[in-house]
Structure 1
Amino acid sequence: MSHDTGRTRSARAEGRFSLGERLSPRTSFLLRRLGRLAASVCVVVLASFFLIHLVPGDPVRAALGPSASPELVAATQASLGLDKPILQQFVDYLGGLLTGDLGTSIQSHRPVAQTIAERFPATLLLAVAAFAVAIAGALPIGLGMAISSRGGRRRGLDAALSSLLGVLIAIPGFLLAVGFIALFSVQLGLLPAAGWGTIRSGILPVLALALGPMAYLARIVQVEMITVLGTTYMTTARAKRLPSRLVYFRHALPNIVTATLTVGGLILSGLTAATVLVETVFAIPGLGTTMVAAVSTKDYPMVQGVVLVYALIVLGVNLVVDLILITIDPRSSITEG
C-alpha cells in the first residue's frame, strides 16, 4: 500500500514538473500576474464597498433633502436596496458586477455604468495626453543633462536644471493648475480657465498634469544615462571614434529602456489617478469630477463604480508594462515574482 502511495505521489510530482516544463516563462509569468490581478480586484471590491458604508450619514436623505418625508426616504431606500442588511447588499452588488451592472446612482437615478461610459473618455484623453507630453519632454531633457554633465562639465547648468526639475517634482499638479489659471487665463487672457473639448481648453490641464511626472522621469533618464555612459563597453565605443549619434542612440539609449519603461508605467498609473484634482480645478466632465461629487453626496454606487474603474486601469497598466518588460528582457527579475 505504501509503495502504491509513493508511486502515486511520484507520478503527480512528475505531472506537475512536466506541466511546468511545457509552460514557457512568459506564459507562467502571465498566469501568476493574472492571479494577482484577480486577487487585487477582489480586495478593491471589498474595500470600496465596505469602507464607503462607514461614512456617517444617510445618502438617500442627503439626495432628497431635509424636507423629504420619512415615507419618501423609506420608499427610495427600498427601491435602491439600501434597506437590506449590509451583507445582503454586498451579495446583490457582486451579482450585479458579474452581469456588468454597477448599480444605480442615488443622486441622478441613472445607471452608474452609463455615467462612467460618458465621463471616462475625457479622463482617458487627459491622462494619455499628459503622459505623451511627459515622455516627449523627459527623454530629451534627461539625455541632454546626462551628456552635458558627463565628466563634470557644465556643473552650473546641470545644477540649475536639477533645481528646476526638483521644484516641478515637489509642486502638486493642482497647485500648478491654479497658478496656470491665474497667469494665463486671468492675467494674460490667453487660454480658457475651464472647460474641455478644444485644443485651447486642454493645454493648461495637460501641462498641469504632465510637468511634475516629466521632471521626475527626466531625472530617472539622466541618472540611468550617466550610469550607462560610465560602463566599459561605452568607453570602448567612444575609443573606436564612432559618431556621437551612434554612441548615444544606438549603444546607450537601449540600455536605459527597462528602467524608463518601468517608471513610465508607474507614472501613467499615477496620472490616471491624479486627474481627479486637475479635472476638479478646470471643471472637466470626467471621472475625477464625478468621483468628487459622489463622495460629497455619499453616492455609494457611483463611488464604488469609479473606484473599480480606476483600480482596473492601474492594475491593467502595470500588467501591460510587466509583459513588455519580459518581452524586451526575458531574463528580467520580474519573472521570478
Structure 2
Amino acid sequence: MTEPTMLSKEVQILESTAPGATKRPRGGALSLSPWADYAFRRAGGVLLSVVLLVVVTFFMVPLIPGDPAVAVAGADATTEQIEAIRNSLGLNDPLYVQFISYVGGLFTGDLGESFAYSTSVSQIIATKLPFTAELAVLGIILVLLVSVPAGMLVGILTRGGRKKWLDVSFGMLTGFFQAVPQYVVSTMLVVVFAIILKVLPAAGAASLSALILPVIGLSIAPICSIARVVRRETSTVLEQDYLRTARGWRLPSLRLYARHALPNLLTTALTLAGLILAGMLGGAIIVENVFNWPGLGREIVTAIVNKDYPVIQGIILVLGFLAIVLNLLVDVILGLIDPRTLGGKSNG
C-alpha cells in the first residue's frame, strides 16, 4: 500500500475518532430518533417559555407606579374624566378579567390598543420592528463574523504558551470592552466619529451610514464576550490527542483547524453565544435611545413614560418571543454541528 493511501486511511480514522465525530447508523440510513426526541423535548420547553413570557408580560406592567388613565387624560383632567377613561380602558375590571381578555386577544393576534395613540399595538410594532430587526440582525452577523475568527486566531497563535504578550493584551482589551456599559460605548462612538471626526451621522435613520455606529455599539460587548470563550475553547481543543496526532501528520492548516478544531470548540462557544445574542435584543433598547434610532427600543421607553400598558406588553412579548426563537435556532445549529448535544444516542 502506498504512503498517500496509508495517510488517507489514517485521516479517516482521525475524523471518526475526533470528539465531534459521529458514527454512521447501521444500514446506511440516518436515524431520526435523536432529532424526534429532541423536537419533543424542545417543543415542551418552548411552550413553557412562551406561557411564562405571557404571564410575566401581563403581571409586570401593572406594577409600574402611576395611573395610565391620568397620563391619557392629561394634567388638567377632572376626577370624573379620569374615572371615565379608566372604565373605557377596562382598568377597573378585576385583574383576572383583564388577564383573560389579554390572553384571548393574543390567540386572535390582537395585542390591544395603545392608550396614548388610540392605535393598534400590532400596527405600532409592525412599524417599529423592521428598524430593530435590521439593527439586531446586522449586529448578530457582525458578532459571529468577528468574534469566532478572532478568538480562534488568538487561541492558535498562543497555543502552548506562545506569544504571552498577545494572550495578555487580548484578555485585557476584551475584558475592558466587555465590562463597559453599552450606553457608554455608544456615547464614545458618537463623540469620536460624529462630533470629532465628523465622518458618520450621530443619530437618526436617514441613510445606510447611520446604521454603522448603532451596529458597532450594539456588537462590541458581545464580540468581546464570545471571542474570549472561543479563545479558551480553542486552546483546550488544540491540546486534545487527536489534534496532536493531526499536527504530527502535517495536515494542511485549513483542514486541521476548520475541519477538526472548529466544530468541537463551537459546541461550548455557541451555547453561550445563544444567550449573549438573545441579550442583544435587550441591548438594542439602550442603543436605539442613544442613537435616536426609530425602533422598538425608543418606543418602549416612550410607552413607559406614558404608562401605555398595551404597548409595553406588546413590545416585551415580541422581544421575548424573538429571544426564544433565536435560542432555538442556536440549539438546532449545535445539533447539526455536534449531534451529541441532542441528548440522543447519536454516538452509540
TM-score by length of 1: 0.88
The aligned residue for residue 12 of structure 1 is none
Task: Please say if residues 176 and 208 of structure 1, whose CA atoms lie closer than 8 Å, have aligned partners that are also in contact.
Answer: yes
| Corresponding residue of 1:164 | 173
Q: What are the within-5 Å matches in structure 2 for residues 240-259 of structure 1?
A: 240-259=249-268
Find 1:132's aligned residue among 141, 145, 151: 141
* SS of structure 2 residue aligned to 1:101: coil
Alpha-carbon distance in 1 for matches of 2:81, 2:155: 67
Give the AA of the match of 1:294.
A
Q: Which residue number corresponds to residue 214 of structure 1? A: 223
Q: Alignment partner of 1:51: what SS?
A: helix
Q: Which runs of 4+ in 1 moved over 4 A?
A: 333-336
**1:304 and 2:346 aligned:** no
Matches within 5 A, 1:277-292: 277-292=286-301
What does residue range 79-98 of structure 1 map to in structure 2 within 5 Å? Answer: 79-98=88-107
The count of aligned residue pairs is: 315
Whether the aligned pair in 1 keeps the contact of 2:33 and 2:344 (CA below 8 Å) is no
- The one of 244, 253, 270 aligned to 2:279: 270
- Measured after TM superposition, the shift of residue 104 of structure 1 is 0.4
Identity of matched residues, %:
42
SS of corresponding position for 1:53: helix
Q: CA deviation at 1:75?
A: 3.0
Distance in 1 separating the partners of 2:262 and 2:231: 11
* Corresponding residue for residue 153 of structure 1: 162
> Aligned partners of 1:130, 1:195: CA distance in 2, in Å?
17
The CA RMSD measured in Å over matched residues stands at: 1.8
Deviations 1:91-113 (A, max 9, x none): 11111111110000111110001
Partners of 1:254 and 1:329 lie apart in 2 by 7
Q: Which residue of 2 aligns with 1:199?
A: 208
| TM-score, length basis structure 2 | 0.86
- Contact residue 34 and residue 343 of structure 2 kept, 8 A: no
1:37 aligned partner: 46
Contact 2:263 2:337 in 1 (8 A): no
Give 2:236's aligned amino acid: T
2:234 match:
225
- 2:154 and 2:134 mapped to 1: Cα distance? 30
- Counterparts of 2:334 and 2:250, CA distance in 1: 32
Change in 2 beyond 3 A, CA 1:25/1:241 = closer
Structure 1 unaligned segments of length 5 or more: list them. 1-21
